[in-house]
Amino acid sequence: TQEEAQEETGWKLVHGDVFRPPANSDLLCVYVGTGVQCLGMVLVTMIFAMLGFLSPSNRGGLMTAMLLLWVFMGLFAGYASSRLYKMFKGTEWKRIAFRTAFLFPAVVSAIFFVLNALIWGQKSSGAVPFGTMFALIFLWFGISVPLVFVGAYIGFKKPPLDDPVKTNKIPRQIPEQAWYMNPIFSILIGGILPFGAVFIELFFILTSIW
């Protein structure tokens, strides 16, 4: 009947599949942990700036504070990623901790080192000295990576998060989606809009400076 059809829509229709682990659940856990690390770094940096600890007169103070906070927020990154991983019934927490500690920092470091090598090749004074690069590597491998593993160990020892509803053993068939729900289209639109907003602001700011 029509009433029964209305009842089998919305949450009642999908509640048995909402908490099913996705296809690439490991990467999702790593991204969530990295997001927690970024969020913690930004929030604490903003709090310190509002309290006056990061003065504009101290050149490089903001960047130094952000780097140090990023390193120490590795504890929360490992904790968040391992908690979510255990919720997905995962067992190899060391693999998740390793990916959380190296995936995003490795990509950023590779881009940074390539750009710095190009600047150094032009004999520019803007190149980062080797002493600073060694200090960054030490902060990454000596502090951040161990903290990620410690956080992952603590998070994995916690009891798993219980799903509010039971997940069906047989996945529900996903109906055919509209063309605008294609992942590629969604990624492009989701990236173009914020990029355009930021690009316009930065363009006028940098134009007024130079």
Per-residue pLDDT at 8: 60
Cβ contacts of residue 49 below 8 Å, gap of 6+? Answer: 62
pLDDT band at 126 (very low <50, low <70, confident <90, very high): confident
Q: Given a cut of 70, is residue 10 above it in pLDDT? A: no
Tell me which of 191 and 11 has the higher pLDDT: 191
Which pLDDT does position 164 carry in this prediction? 75
Query: What is the arithmetic mean of pLDDT over 169-191?
Result: 83
CA distance 191 to 208: 26
Within 8 A by CB and 6+ apart from 167, the residues are 16, 17, 19, 20
Mean pLDDT value of segment 87-97: 89
Mean predicted confidence (pLDDT) in 112-135: 86
Phi and psi, residue 61, nearest 5°: -65, -40
Phi-psi region of 162 (alpha: psi -120 to 50; beta: other; left: phi over 0): beta
CA dihedral over 5, 10, 16, 17, signed as positive or negative: positive
pTM of the predicted protein model = 0.78
Count CB atoms within 10 A of the CB of residue 94: 12
- Residues of the chain with pLDDT > 70, as a percent, come to 94
Average pLDDT of the segment spanning 36-49: 93
| pLDDT band with cut points at 50, 70 and 90 for residue 4 | low
